[in-house]
């Protein structure tokens, strides 16, 4: 169990709603993941167009919604999107994403900090998506963010923990939960993030674009639990020299 | 489910019995792992000294035993050990280990192939522990091995899939099950091996030397299931360029 | 040759002056490196204490000095240090370092951008040391920095290109030179940075703490040249499948 | 300088002759590399067809030729090729390659050892191309090989030191020179192999398929020298924690 803002969650797997082939498949996968916190872009809330609306079915299925500001290029954009999202979805929870770069969708540290400060002050529960930058993470914590969401690798790259050394430092220093976001392309990546001591991970692309999203969601669910258990159970260190696991049957040599 | 020799197994996690702090802890961890096939050194069978004997309690707990020839430096040593093990444990199953190098315990390809050929001909169900050498794996398959057990990294190193590119080739070419052995130090490593398409993994050190071996065994159990599910569910590829997971809220830009 | 600020340099290896066992050894190593641009902390300029002074001998040896603001925790600190350095060393060149975190010395993106903007406006030739954050790099370029200096790994870690995927993006997007700084622990790391297309690298710890700093400096000099040549000569891509380099002597098979 | 068989070489860069766009370009690149030992397939010796012959121009240019048995699938094939090569090229030097697998061209440990033993006994200077298998390397040394040539990655893959942990062990244990072969795709890879303590590297594909093979050959030449110098100069270790390279200007904090 871990606590984010004013809520305690059992699942350490956060999920997203992009790239699924349809709402029905999405819901089935999210339910299989046992995720409790699900992010969706403001654009996906179409109160007037039920066919394109994700809000109502997700709400009905009992998920805690985490609106995101995907598409925002400045703090101003993001603050506007946050207000619209709060109104449309009735929640102060917010995944703050500001990425002026359309090609790699890398987050902007300056605008993100500016928006986070303003929105936290207004009472939003702010979860900022950012580079795996240890100093920036401390600053976001200082302005009142409920968690930090450093990236593992570029969004959608499926490359895994490219930022491992920096995640290690962020986790060591953070006083708020650390949720590893972006680039997690396989259950082994999610497990590795949890083994490092991350509090949670967010996975979207790898589930949504799998040949079988329900099975993949289940796989991620198990991997996140496994990684957390291993972290708590005390992983042994790495060695460059072999260490026999079976006792050597030395008497053989003298027979 | 996968088939090895004449048996079908539900669990794809093989375990070992070395390095545990005591028999009771070992049994608890192995049971938590839900492993069905457990390797033990011939030396651990002390029919005359019950206090030091692992055979009886493992047998009583229902595990399929997989005697190993740990300590053998030559094919001759290993064949002798195999015969003693078959007699002592009443099973033709055999994990064939021949490592003349006492420091890194690296397997010997020449002696291993020689012993495997002889033992397979005698009716042993031979599972050879070997380097991640694709040609050697085909040759071991050709002489009748029931599976191949390429190493991920030096035994006890906990370094994970150092041999990833070669495991990929071995798995692509093998007609017998591929069980990744040695060097798997964390559940994320086990999941990664399964995601590559391995049929199973063998884990010993990382469970036995964890602060909480029962929890660690459970974590490995889940990770192996997760990795296999992901493999079957169709993992998406890796990209160097970002791919947005949330649709960009482009209207924001024009407001 | 590459141009930084108003100067053109032949050498793409920048060096530092910390951690050497003495001034004489330092000078010998820097000369062997053929580096033209050498960074030193303001503290190392002791006009009143010649024994502890690096400024005069470096100047006499013909190096272009690059004062740094090591130790600064805020933009204010750094701006003060920049002014003192300009006065003491008579140069507007500045390696801007702001790291509030004493343990990992990670750079602060917010304060660095703030100080960079102010100092560039004042006419300093600003080379900021920063995280490998593509958006921050663009912003530093926009406020007038002469180059960007993203880190490869934590300072002094010798871990090499941990930030490879992000350096690739930074290099692709930058309009100013990209100088990879921090974490380069071996000539192979320096070559790899150059092969990615970096304009230069800065190496200090790995040279200063080598058993033989002069030889190590020479090794880095050659590796930087090699990496750049390879980048310009067009490195072939990577493949998962083998490609024979020798033509197979197929007639053998039919003899 | 290092000694192989009965000769001492200044250059630690071995090269190959495959995949070049023409003999003239090949010669220019090999000369730029300053390589002294050059491998070529038996097939490339066409005494009757001067247009397709590499032997005469290489010989005329002063290279020590290293015929290889590329294409051999068995020890028998390789021994036949060795005899033909010795006769055609007038040299007992031999790069022994036996790869029954046409897709990945992985070497066969069993047949290679068998052929190496026979050929060494006949007076050949045998350099076997093999998997990075530490025990196999010792055995090849024991039967009289002049060096061992473990692979870094699949031939032509350009993936670099995939077998790093095993190369480290091989180098530690070998009494004959260790020449890293196959998979070296960039000067940084060659430097890294030398930094590990390899005696030499063999590079072919990365030079031959570069846009500018002469420049690439020069880059590899420098990288190999750099890597060796760094190895001899004593590379410092890696750390997970930062270590400041500039002394922190602490007085700033109190101003």
Asked if D241 and C154 come within 8 Å (Cβ–Cβ), the reply is yes
Q: Which of A234, A1, A239 is nearest to B217 (CA)?
A: A234
Size of interface A-D (CB pairs under 8 A): 4
Interface of B with A in 228-247 (CB under 8 A): 229-230, 232-247
Distance from CA of B20 to the nearest CA of A (A): 10
Nearest to A135 among C108, C135, C166 (CB): C108
CA distance to partner chain A, nearest, from residue B135 (Å): 24
Q: What is the CA radius of gyration of chain A?
A: 20
- Chain C residue with CA closest to D194: the answer is C188
The average confidence (pLDDT) of chain D is 90
- Touching subunits for chain D (3+ Cβ pairs under 8 A): A, B, C
Mean pLDDT of C224-242: 84
Q: What is the pLDDT of residue D157?
A: 84
Record: fold of C2-254: TIM Barrel (3.20.20)
Banded model confidence at residue D254, pLDDT cuts 50, 70, 90 = very low
State the smallest CA–CA distance between residue D108 and chain B in angstroms: 6
Distance from CA of C192 to the nearest CA of A (A): 16
Count of Cβ atoms closer than 10 Å to residue D117 Cβ:
18
Which residues of chain C have a CB within 8 Å of the CB of B165? 240
Q: How confident is the model at residue C112 (pLDDT cuts 50, 70, 90)?
A: very high
User: How far is B216 from chain A, CA to nearest CA, in Å?
Assistant: 5
Is A215 in Cβ contact with B244 (below 8 Å)? Answer: no
pLDDT computed for residue B251 by the predictor: 42
CA distance B68 to chain A (A): 8
User: A233-242, C108-117, D80-89: which range is least confident on average?
Assistant: A233-242
The yes-or-no verdict on residue A32 having pLDDT over 50 is: yes
Note the pLDDT of residue B157. Answer: 85
Q: Residue C118 pLDDT > 90, yes or no?
A: yes
Residue C60: band (very low, low, confident or very high) from pLDDT cuts 50, 70, 90: confident
Report pLDDT for D163: 95
User: Average pLDDT, stretch D62-90?
Assistant: 93
Residue A95: phi and psi, rounded to 5, are -95, 115
Contact between chains at D246 and C39 (C-beta distance less than 8 A): yes
pLDDT at C255: 38
Contacts of C254 in chain D (CB under 8 A): none
Q: b/e for B58-92, b at 16 or more Cβ within 10 A?
A: beeeebbbbbbbbbbbbbebbbbbbebbbeebebb
Q: Which of C110, C134, C164 sits opposite A106 (nearest CB)?
A: C134
Helices (H), A40-163: 55-60, 75-89, 109-121, 134-142
B59 is catalytic: no
Q: pLDDT band for position C50 (50/70/90)?
A: low
Q: What is the CATH number of domain A2-235?
A: 3.20.20.70
A135 and C159 within 8 Å at the Cβ level: the answer is no
Q: What is the pLDDT of residues B143-173, one digit of tens each?
A: 999 999 999 998 888 899 999 999 999 999 9
On whether any CB of chain B is under 8 Å from the CB of D159, the answer is: yes
Residues of B with CB below 8 A from A221's CB?
226
- Record: contact A215-B229, CB cut-off 8 A: yes
Number of alpha carbons in the 13 Å side-chain half-sphere of residue D20: 25
Set of chain B residues whose Cβ sits within 8 Å of the Cβ of D166: 131, 162
Model confidence at A166, pLDDT cuts 50, 70, 90, reads: very high
The verdict on C174 touching A (C-beta cutoff 8 Å) is no
Contact C187 D226 (CB under 8 A): yes
Q: What is the pLDDT of residue C245?
A: 63
Contact C161/D at CB under 8 A: no
A11 at B interface, C-beta within 8 A = no
**Spans in chain B with pLDDT lower than 50:** 251-255
Q: Inter-chain contact C235–D206, Cβ cutoff 8 Å?
A: yes
Mean pLDDT of all residues belonging to chain C: 90
Contacts of D139 in chain B (CB under 8 A): 108, 110
Q: How far apart, in Å, are the Cα atoms of C66 and each of B175, C24, C72, C119, C218? A: 62, 19, 16, 14, 21
Find the residue in A nearest to C157 (Cα). Answer: A165
What is the pLDDT, as a whole number, of residue A227?
Answer: 97
CA angle A206, A212, A216 (to 5 degrees): 50
Inter-chain contact A136–C109, Cβ cutoff 8 Å? yes
pLDDT reading at A142 higher than 90: yes
CB atoms within 10 A of CB C231: 21
Q: Across residues A147-161, what is the average pLDDT?
A: 92
> Is it the case that residue A207 has pLDDT exceeding 60?
yes
Helix (H) and strand (E) counts for chain B? 10, 10
Distances in Å between the Cα of B223 and the Cα atoms of A119, A190, A225, B19 are 38, 10, 8, 22
What's the CA gap between A48 and A44, in Å, rounded?
Answer: 11
Q: Is the CB of B165 inside 8 Å of chain C's CB atoms?
A: yes
Angle between helices A23-33 and A213-233 (to 10 degrees): 20
Q: For residue A63, give Cα distances in angstroms to A11, A60, A81.
A: 12, 8, 21
| A161 chain-C contacts, CB cut-off 8 A | none
Mean pLDDT, to the nearest integer, of D131-153? 97
In the predicted model, what is the mean pLDDT of residues C57-76? Answer: 92
* Residues B48-61 pLDDT 10s: 666 667 888 888 88
Q: Is the pLDDT of residue C243 over 90?
A: no
Q: Which residue among B44, B186, B229 sits closest to A195, beta carbon to beta carbon?
A: B186
Residue A102 pLDDT? 84
Q: Cα torsion for B89, B91, B95, B101, to the nearest 10°?
A: 40
**Separation CA C86–CA C124 (nearest Å):** 9
- Picking from B107, B136, B153, the nearest residue to D165 by CB comes out as B153
Q: Do the Cβ atoms of D245 and C77 come within 8 Å?
A: no
Of B251 and D176, the one with more pLDDT: D176
Nearest CB among C210, C233, C242 relative to D216 is that of C233
Catalytic residue among D24, D43, D59, D95: D95
Does residue D45 register a pLDDT over 80? no
Query: What span, in angstroms and rounded, lies between the C-alpha atoms of C131 and D216?
Result: 31
Query: Do residues D227 and D190 touch, judged by C-beta distance below 8 A?
Result: yes
Contacts of C240 in chain B (CB under 8 A): 165, 168
Active site residues of C: 95
Residue D48 above 80 pLDDT? Answer: no
Q: Is the dihedral of CA B134, B140, B145, B149 positive or negative?
A: negative
Give catalytic residue positions of A: 95
Mutation target vs D (from C16, C68, C219, C247; most D CBs, 10 A cutoff): C219
List pLDDT tens digits, range D90-118. 899 999 999 998 888 899 999 999 999 99
The whole-number pLDDT of residue D5 equals 86
Q: What is the mean pLDDT of residues C228-248?
A: 74
DSSP per-residue string spanning C104-131: T----HHHHHHHHHHHHHTT-EEEEEE-
C168 close contact with B: CB closer than 8 A: yes
Q: Can you read off the two tokens belonging to residue C182?
A: 């921090």
Of A39-53, A72-86, B96-110, least confident by mean pLDDT is: A39-53
Q: Which of B24, B43, B59, B95 is an active site residue? A: B95
Judged by average pLDDT, the poorest of A48-52, C141-145, D19-23 is A48-52
Q: Is A169's CB within 8 Å of C106's CB?
A: yes
Give the residue-averaged pLDDT of A167-174.
96
Subunits with 3+ Cβ pairs within 8 Å of B are A, C, D
Whether A178 has a pLDDT exceeding 90, the answer reads yes
Asked whether the beta carbons of residue A157 and residue B208 sit closer than 8 angstroms, the reply is no
ipTM (interface predicted TM) = 0.91
Q: Is A74 exposed, middle or buried (0-12, 13-18, 19+ CB in 10 A)?
A: middle
Q: Does B142 touch chain D (CB under 8 A)?
A: no
pLDDT of residue D253: 42
Is the pLDDT at A245 greater than 70, yes or no? Answer: no
């Amino acid at each position: 169990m871990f606590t984010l803002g004013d809520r305690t969650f059992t699942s350490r797997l956060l999920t997203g709603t992009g790239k699924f082939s349809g709402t029905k498949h999405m819901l089935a996968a999210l339910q299989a993941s046992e995720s409790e916190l699900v992010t969706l872009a403001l654009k996906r809330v179409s109160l007037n167009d039920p066919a394109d609306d994700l809000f109502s079915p997700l709400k009905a299925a009992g998920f805690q919604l985490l609106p995101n500001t995907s598409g925002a290029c400045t703090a101003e954009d993001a603050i506007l999107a946050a207000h619209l999202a709060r109104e449309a979805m009735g929640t102060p929870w917010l995944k703050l994403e500001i990425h002026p770069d359309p090609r790699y969708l890398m987050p902007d540290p300056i605008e993100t900090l500016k928006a986070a400060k303003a929105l936290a002050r207004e009472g939003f529960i702010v979860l900022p998506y950012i580079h795996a930058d240890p100093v920036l993470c401390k600053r976001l914590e200082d302005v009142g963010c409920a968690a930090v969401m450093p990236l593992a690798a570029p969004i959608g790259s499926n490359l895994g923990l490219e930022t491992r050394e920096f995640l290690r430092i962020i986790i060591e220093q953070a006083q708020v939960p650390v949720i590893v976001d972006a680039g997690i392309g396989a259950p082994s990546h999610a497990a590795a993030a949890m083994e490092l001591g991350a509090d949670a991970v967010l996975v979207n692309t790898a589930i949504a674009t799998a040949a079988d999203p329900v099975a993949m969601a289940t796989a991620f669910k198990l991997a996140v639990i496994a990684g957390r258990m291993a972290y708590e159970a005390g992983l042994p260190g790495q060695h460059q020299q072999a260490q026999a696991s079976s006792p050597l049957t030395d008497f053989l040599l003298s027979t």
